[in-house]
Amino acid sequence: MKRRRKNVSDYGKQLLEKQKMRFMYGLTERQLTRYVNEANKTPDPKVSLNKALESRLDNIIYRIGLATTRRASRQLVSHGHIVVNDKKTNVPSRKLIIGDTIMVRDGSKDSPLFLDIRKGESERAVPNWLTFDAKNLSGQIKADPAYAAGDTLIDYSAVFEYYSR
């Protein structure tokens, strides 16, 4: 029987948190590094990083309930099912701002992908900084994403420590 090391080093914990963030948001190493470096230039890096990650188009589609996973939301965007401010887009990493409107393209509304949502069978709690109209399959950003240390599954401090090496 092989024995495992019981104690994980600080570096190991930081690496695990960074990987958890990467896989949770579906980012490449290069993308996450860029987000962390940009956040480090602000007065409150944790809030800035959270805002940058939560403001991505693929994440917002997941948050309003148009997709069951972030990976599925990336695919919806990539396949051209989503319209932002009346313009079709296929860039999942697009940064959205307050006032942007997200909706399913008219040609895609009858797709089986959105059947449960239109019937009202799919109920997901939408964050209070977003609004969602299930009948029209559209949503809007009404405020910046809220950051609360206790609400997130990720230890942002460990991620910043990892990148400070």
The alpha-helical segments, DSSP class H, found in 79-155 are: 115-119
Question: In DSSP terms, which residues pair with 139 in a beta bridge?
Answer: 102, 132
Confidence band of 122 (pLDDT split at 50, 70, 90): low
Domain 56-141 has CATH 2.40.10.170: no
Q: Mean pLDDT lowest for which of 39-48, 69-78, 104-113, 115-124?
A: 115-124
Positions of CATH 3.10.290.10 in the chain: 56-141
Task: Locate CATH 1.10.1050 in the chain.
Answer: 10-53+147-163
Q: Render pLDDT for 24-62 as a digit per residue (tens, 0 to 9).
A: 999 999 999 999 999 999 999 999 999 999 999 999 999
Please provide the CATH number assigned to the domain covering 10-53+147-163: 1.10.1050
8 Å CB contact between 105 and 81: yes
Three-state DSSP at 135 gives coil
Cα gap 60→4, rounded to integer Å: 39
**pTM of the model as a whole:** 0.86
